[in-house]
Structure 1
């Protein structure tokens, strides 16, 4: 695939690369980076093998997180990722009047018809339905369990989906 139709992987942090709610984890999610000087020992639980696995998929990996550019400083190095572009997201907030999460419209806009994978722990059925209706390209929304986060098996699911892409112009959404 050429660079203009290369699939995009939109990657969340909290609950995705940084699990919470399981043994030794934060009891509830925190959105965004820690305040300077705030200890976050759970950052040591980020799997450093995930970055190379994701980069090996041949996609453009883009942060899609409330951490914004701070993900490149705090999370990326721990996950084995280089500096990545950051999706142009609105401010963090509750679902809108249609029940869509705060990232959904922005990620479809950013994809601009290119095939994409969105890896997140906080995606609703309303988001899936809206993506199916509004996105011109193919998409996979990989909902991960926040207490576990993204695993090598999850990256394998992404790889299998990518292997089944006929081209960048057909439609469809998977969950």
Structure 2
């Protein structure tokens, strides 16, 4: 089971107007390593073990590309992950997210979870029509990032679709 993971929004929350964001430090990551990425400290390092405990093959599906492995993976305590390379292609049909078709192609018929803050019903409908295996396209609220409720949704979906997930 694949889990496609976006960075901005799901891991780095942004856009909240009603509260300041918590600031985290990651064990073993020197402050100067994060200096070039001022929002990195918004990522809760405890998300790394929680994502790994889902039992999925984690895959970066982000415009961070390889920087996700050099910057975000160490922050989360994760090993380097596969990275979806975005093809140069024509614009997708109206309302369809530009990542949707490449992620279905990358999945190559395997079931998957996609965590992103820009998923819409158009993406869900397109995947349902073009991908024969189970797929959970879960929209994460960008102003909060991944929450306990998001983990609950993913865990329940994984259990329903044949994968036992951790807490």
Task: Sort the TM-score into its range (normalised by shorter chain).
Answer: 0.7 to 0.9
- Whole-angstrom CA distance in 1 between matches of 2:160 and 2:39: 35
Using structure 2 for the length normalisation, give the TM-score: 0.81
Post-superposition CA distance 1:35-75 (Å, at most 9, x none): xx975432111011111111111110000000011101111
Using structure 1 for the length normalisation, give the TM-score: 0.77
C-alpha change, 1:38 and 1:77, in structure 2 (3 Å) is: closer
Which of 71, 74, 78 is the aligned partner of 1:74? 71
CA contact (8 A) 2:120 2:139 kept: no
1:15-94 correspondence to structure 2 within 5 Å: 15-22=9-16, 23-24=19-20, 39-90=36-87
Unpaired runs of at least 5, structure 2? 22-33
Which of 139, 155, 162 is the aligned partner of 2:158? 162
Unpaired runs of at least 5, structure 1? 1-6, 26-36, 168-175
How many residues are matched?
Answer: 150
- Aligned Cα RMSD in Å? 2.4
Query: Which residue number in structure 2 is paired with residue 144 of structure 1?
Result: 140
1:100 and 2:93 aligned: no
- Structure number with higher relative contact order (C-alpha < 8 Å, ≥ 6 residues apart): 2
Shift >6 Å, 4+ stretches: none
